[in-house]
Amino acid sequence: MTQRKRIVAGNWKMNGNLALVEAFSSAIQPAQFPQVEVVVFPPFPLIAQVAKTGIATGSQTVSEQDAGAFTGEVEAKLVAELGASYSLIGHSERRTLFNESDELLVSKFVKAQEAGLTPILCVGETESERESGQTETVISRQVKAVIEELGVATLKDSVIAYEPVWAIGTGKTASPEQAQQVHKFIRDLVAQFDTEIAATLPILYGGSVNEQNSDLLFAQPDIDGGLIGGASLKPDSFKQICESAVGNV
């Protein structure tokens, strides 16, 4: 079995402050979690503060534009300069609340990689799409949007996060078996283009992951860690989730 990077990423969304950064730096030292990359995605103004703690950090999105007259946007190169090493691309809230299309997200993916950031491409279906049997169709479209425009080699230095929209912030979680089924589908889809890249591509699960369910989720053969929402705002809970990832390496 190919050894893939294990990643536990916390997405703070529009939450957090300097006090939370300090609480995290007290509770979590990356050296405690060998073989697991611990990443925090705070609001933009906190990126440099998180980077100073030694915890890997990233942005929740980046602009598809270069520097210029784009008020309110943040350039990928500046994010990297502040100490970030990752960027989320296409989180479901960006797709739904901000109407970000697959085409736009490909542009953001490119800007992230040009700046030296590792993009984490977020994919997932809504509840109605799942109920109508469209899960694989939706995810295939979202993944292929990047592969067909940029080539499969672009996934060599990236991560995919499967986050069923119906399980984000709802308390609902895909069962470990449901999550594994979709993760395998994603890996098999990438393998149609390149088997080696598919074998080494980290695929994370996101959707109401917490310290109670992380052990079972991370034990699945194609789940390489998690993209954590609400539980990432609680240092002790997040620490336990990181320990789950270590235990399942």
Residue 129: active-site member: no
Residue 183: active-site member: no
Residue positions counted in the chain? 249
Catalytic residue among 91, 93, 125, 211: 91
Count of C-beta atoms within a 10 Å radius of residue 180:
18
What single string gives the DSSP state of each residue in 105-126?
HHHHHHHHHHTT-EEEEEE---
User: One digit per residue, pLDDT tens: the chain, 249 residues?
Assistant: 457 999 999 999 999 999 999 999 999 998 899 889 999 999 999 999 999 999 999 999 999 999 999 999 999 999 999 999 999 999 999 999 999 999 999 999 999 999 999 999 999 999 899 989 999 999 999 999 999 999 999 999 999 999 998 877 777 778 899 999 999 999 999 999 999 999 999 999 998 899 999 999 999 999 999 999 999 999 999 999 999 998 776
Query: If DSSP codes are grouped into helix, strand and coil, which group holds residue 205?
Result: strand
Q: What is the pTM for the complete model shown?
A: 0.96
Catalytic residue among 37, 100, 125, 163: 163
Domains annotated on the chain, with CATH: 6-247 (3.20.20.70)
Contact partners, residue 40, CB within 8 Å, separation at least 6 = 9, 10, 12, 24, 50, 55, 56, 57, 58, 232
Alpha-carbon distance of 248 to 150, in angstroms, equals 33
**What's the pLDDT at 26?**
95
Query: If DSSP codes are grouped into helix, strand and coil, which group holds residue 242?
Result: helix
Taking only the tens place, the pLDDT of each residue in 188-244 is: 999 999 999 999 999 999 988 999 999 999 999 999 999 999 999 999 999 999 999
Query: How many contiguous H segments (helices) and E segments (strands) does the chain have?
Result: 11, 8
**What's the pLDDT at 249?**
62
